[in-house]
Structure 1
């Protein structure tokens, strides 16, 4: 037996620079996610002030998603033809400009236009970030990386939403958007100054026509199942979230000033659940953790969407469990889908994948706005109908992701076999 391997110190999971990349991408995602999420709790303030209906508010939410989907498709052909760092800086700058326009909106139609601009740029940021993660981190640790980056989801609730709601209550609903712009300047500057180029994929490009590259990526039969799975994955959040604050106040009897507590406490627990579910996905199997998270989420959705007036502590408990399931689904499904594309297609794949997610989310938000109505007592009606639709979509996704998992397992087995028989690296992605 070779004793050398037994005494050799274990290699750290992540280098110092890799920790920096994870942290800065998570902070960047925090601002992008907060920009989308803040619309939901602000709905209870924006709707009466701008005198808009639930259907109009649903359109405002879906406008961001649909424009993000359009920009993702337009960017797909070019996503693998540039240094990913430069792409990230370009789209993030546009995102901050769009958010500033939201902060200056004097009426509904200006806000609608500003949301479209924000979506055009913000919708591509997530796909570029995921392409960077996939380029730099091997599959064995990618669940943990995704889990840490998904902490941005928790941070937006713990820090962003309570502070944003406080500012909205104290000043005006415009204030949270100014907060995002100011906070977003920080990661933008750090990325420009400190992040190294991410351009190793450029050496693998053999197609000089961006539109041909996009068409081949879209029509690749190995990618279609992942795109379809992502389409349904978006349904849940985009259906329930836009009217979450309205439902909490009008139906559950939660006071508007208690919303920061509701979102903040749920977010604190999400800080733990994000990395934990990513770690468990790496250790126990990503699909197993996804299935467990889906079952937990479905149970909580069924309970939550059928509640009447409920004590704040009970609502918080249900939200904590629901977000635990959501984060388990997000971290593990993202890690699995990220393993599908070939290195030379990653940017295009991630852009298209983000686009179909945004299109599906925009459609879901629009449908939700058509399903939800206000009763004579101003309570939201048919929220439980949305819950049924969400649960049905989760059941279908569980089946679809099972086959995605099998596809990834086959690919990883092929990579392992190649490494055993060849000294050439299968993927040689480094930061230069």
Structure 2
């Protein structure tokens, strides 16, 4: 599993679907111009993706452990490539919403599928390191994919990024077909049982449910801050919008190295110690990022990098802890449902921030500090829960 070629192709698959998801919001101005979209319509586009991804995750979880995991990933990735083309040819807002439903049902479950496959084929002593190397695709999507996608959109129109990612993804699909090892089904079909019933019996154990709660704490604490960090840093910290790409570029560049490092450390020193360390660093980063005063660009780069690098690094030992929780026959189903929990946590975090944050007369955001305090408390609760889960392993 740990072969460089396989890691590279899985990282690329992870990166491409993240670019597809991340590029949608920055393209809002293009959709307003092309379709007369309103802010509510932009929210509808995001909801179409996340809701369909959640539904697809639940459905796939009932059958994934009965098929070769590599073949399932190839089929879903092929559908994702098709969804990119369907998105690019959308000729109205309603067609675009429908295309994003399709994208959510395919691309929206790829992260969970990839994590599940890595957890299945990597030896336990190398699992966290393998996860970290693959998950560094998140940093690549921020450093290379998102800026490049926006540049292509400026040059060729909003359809350009989706066509470009589709072309790249065809090559990634060929790499998946050629390099994915066979992963025999964990649970053969039984005539006396149904997939859903068997999955539920295996997944409703205490440690598995605790894993879903850990995922919720990690994702909601992260996205409560990420959802509004850009406008806060522009309006309250005084960073020019033209300087924001440098913040993401530096943080993503560092994360490309620190995310795999967190995985290697977790294999060497244990899942929980590395999770606790990265969580403490992320709590510090959250508090600094949400309470930052007016800063020069150098100070902003330091604080923002601490926040983004720590929350990215925290996810690697988190996934490694989660992969150890369910019994192997239902690990795939568990990771798929965990992906649904991830989407739920992201949405709840963003909705909480929206309910707490207000806009003052001068355009500055108020209440972001309170968001940071709550996110920090959730982070600390995650440390306590992870300690309990790993002790009962």
TM, length-normalised to structure 2:
0.88
* 1:96 Cα offset (Å): 2.8
* 1:48 Cα offset (Å): 8.6
Structure 1 stretch 93-102 or stretch 37-46: which is displaced more? 37-46
How big is each residue's C-alpha offset from its partner over 1:326-383, in whole Å with a ceiling of 9 and x where there is no partner? 1331111111110112221111111111112212222333333444444444444433
Paired position in structure 1 for 2:38: 52
* 1:159 Cα offset (Å): 0.8
Q: In 1, distance between residues paired with 2:243 and 2:33? A: 19
Paired position in structure 1 for 2:297: 312
Q: Secondary structure at the match of 1:80?
A: helix
Alignment of 1:84-233 (within 5 A): 84-104=69-89, 110-202=95-187, 208-233=193-218
**Structure 1 residues 382 and 56 mapped into 2: Cα distance closer, same or farther (>3 Å)?**
farther
**Structure 1 residues 170 and 109 mapped into 2: Cα distance closer, same or farther (>3 Å)?**
same
**Structure 1 residues 126 and 390 mapped into 2: Cα distance closer, same or farther (>3 Å)?**
same
Structure 1 stretch 277-286 or stretch 304-313: which is displaced more? 304-313
* 1:40 Cα offset (Å): 5.1
Q: In 1, distance between residues paired with 2:247 and 2:93? A: 27
How big is each residue's C-alpha offset from its partner over 1:100-125, in whole Å with a ceiling of 9 and x where there is no partner? 44444566655444333222222322
Paired position in structure 1 for 2:344: 359
Q: In 1, distance between residues paired with 2:159 and 2:294? A: 30
Q: In 2, distance between residues paired with 1:382 and 1:153? A: 29
Is 1:343 aligned to residue 296 of structure 2?
no
Structure 1 stretch 268-277 or stretch 59-68: which is displaced more? 59-68
Q: In 2, distance between residues paired with 1:133 and 1:393? A: 28
How big is each residue's C-alpha offset from its partner over 1:69-125, in whole Å with a ceiling of 9 and x where there is no partner? 221111111011111122112222222333344444566655444333222222322
* 1:205 Cα offset (Å): 7.2
* 1:303 Cα offset (Å): 1.5
Structure 1 stretch 114-123 or stretch 36-45: which is displaced more? 36-45
**Structure 1 residues 102 and 252 mapped into 2: Cα distance closer, same or farther (>3 Å)?**
farther
Is 1:239 aligned to residue 249 of structure 2?
no
Q: In 1, distance between residues paired with 2:166 and 2:357? A: 31
How big is each residue's C-alpha offset from its partner over 1:19-77, in whole Å with a ceiling of 9 and x where there is no partner? 32222111111112222333455567767985634x66555434433321221111111
Q: In 2, distance between residues paired with 1:315 and 1:46? A: 31
Residues 41, 244 of structure 1: 8 Å contact kept: no
Paired position in structure 1 for 2:372: 387
Residues 142, 249 of structure 2: 8 Å contact kept: yes
Structural RMSD (CA): 2.8
Q: In 2, distance between residues paired with 1:151 and 1:341? A: 24
Q: In 2, distance between residues paired with 1:83 and 1:91? A: 13
Unaligned runs of 5+ in 1: 1-13, 409-432
**Structure 1 residues 44 and 338 mapped into 2: Cα distance closer, same or farther (>3 Å)?**
farther
TM, length-normalised to structure 1:
0.81
Structure 1 stretch 21-30 or stretch 301-310: which is displaced more? 301-310
Structure 1 stretch 317-326 or stretch 216-225: which is displaced more? 216-225
* 1:233 Cα offset (Å): 1.8
Residues 58, 365 of structure 1: 8 Å contact kept: no
Q: In 2, distance between residues paired with 1:39 and 1:103? A: 12
Aligned length: 392
Choose from 65, 69, 74 the match for 2:50: 65
Q: In 1, distance between residues paired with 2:239 and 2:90? A: 28
Residues 251, 309 of structure 2: 8 Å contact kept: no
